[in-house]
Amino acid sequence: MSLILEVPSGFMDLTFDSICTFPLASDLFTLAIHTSSPVVALGLASGHVQLQRLPSLPSSPSLKAKAKAPSTNGHGTIETVWRTRRHRGSCRSLVFSADGDHLLTAGTDGILKVASTDTGEVTAKIAVPSDPSGAPDSPTLLHTLSPQTLLLATDSSALHLFDLRSDSTFISPRPQQTHHPHYDFVSSLAPLAPSDTSTSGSCRQWLSTGGSTIAITDIRKGVVYESDDFEEELLSSTVLGGAESGKIIAGGEKGFLRMWDGCIKGVINGKEKRLYVRKGECLDVLCPVPQEVVEDDMVAVGLGDGTVSFTRTGKRPGVISHVRHHDLEGVSALGFDPDGRLITGGGNTVKVWEKNTEISDGEASLIDDDQEESDEMEDGNGVVSRANGHEASEEESSDEEKPKRKKRKRNKARGRHNNNHILAFKGLD
């Protein structure tokens, strides 16, 4: 049984101003943000990977770690640290190691590479395992579950676990485990925080969406939970708070969030609650809003219509405000850097947003079964910022792949696989 939540009005708006627009010539497939420095890695359809450094804010703890920050007021130029053609074909996914010292990338050439974050120099590479028929199996997602564990999802619905040494310079040539938590490719991954009784303090379980189901997988026990068929394509997921006391959230193609009150022993707990963001619109990406930005439980939702909706999920839930990333292209990547700035990617553009501290009273925007929100949303005045950088040399050819939208017609039978379902991030070069 599901509960449809109604949203009261009279909230204080959470708004962001666009402070930089970074135009790109090649489609963006993926984006990763460093956990402790204002650094963003971009994976492109052309096979290029590039590292961008944002200006640091005066109060940023990253200033001490990076003495050569290009700015101390947060409004300088975006520096290109390095850029290289890393893969033959598209760079499908990338992720920083747990310590941030290395960047892991995977491409349609079937190669997983580990490189230095500072220089871009490759330190290790292995082949992505083939699908059951022996054909190449392109990657869809990378995720560092812990300093020792790397998750790699592929088009064939496989989810591989690799042993990643703590210094990030060595990765095992073969996966230690392989699971198939879904009948279709894995569209999103979200780690479940360790329980209060955990002695290691490391994540050992993760939530995933794929096709029209949700699953929970345990590093020791394998797949421990599989949901029923939700009759819609699930595209994104996230977890707020701890696994048992937090909130599990998933977004799909129908425009509403599905929410549960955590999980107990690997089983999702409580009744499903639904919260409309925009009826009939794809919710392509979810990202928790940091507590440093807003104290309430809130997620930023990237939609297929090019907007980002800030949605409260705790008490008095509802859509609080919106920003528009693009008029024509959907939001395919978003996140927050260590300084609390919002970074969005989609189309041929990456934008950097800063929280507007001059907040005025406003009413929450609610999209319900009988109402659609206007497409007229104000876009911040972004300043185009380009900067000089150096390009690391890695001579590889590229067959550029066009990212596809996640939303697909649900006409696939269980067990069939479709290769046209990648995480689409358009535009950055």
pLDDT tens sequence across 214-251: 999 998 899 999 999 999 999 999 999 875 667 999 99
Provide the mean pLDDT of the chain.
78
Cα end-to-end distance, the chain, whole Å: 46
pLDDT score, position 102: 94
Question: Position 311: which residue type?
Answer: T
Better-predicted residue by pLDDT, 366 or 121: 121
Of all helices (H) and strands (E), which one includes residue 312? Answer: strand 307-312
Cα–Cα distance for residue pair 184/214, rounded to 1 Å:
11
Mind listing the pLDDT tens digit for each residue in 108-152?
999 999 999 999 999 988 899 998 888 889 999 999 988 888 999
Task: Copy the structure tokens of residue 298.
Answer: 């809130």
Mean pLDDT of 92-107: 94
Query: Strands, DSSP E only, in 356-409?
Result: none
pLDDT score, position 302: 96
Instruction: Determine if the pTM surpasses 0.85.
Output: no
Cα–Cα distance for residue pair 421/366, rounded to 1 Å:
30
Of all helices (H) and strands (E), which one includes residue 283? Answer: strand 283-288
pLDDT score, position 384: 33
pLDDT at 397 over 90: no
pLDDT at 80 over 50: yes
pLDDT score, position 77: 79
Cα–Cα distance for residue pair 158/137, rounded to 1 Å:
9
Better-predicted residue by pLDDT, 12 or 128: 128
pLDDT at 1 over 50: no
Phi-psi domain of 219 (left: phi exceeds 0; alpha: psi -120 through 50; beta: other)? alpha
Q: DSSP per residue over 207-221, as a string? A: EEEETTEEEEEETTT
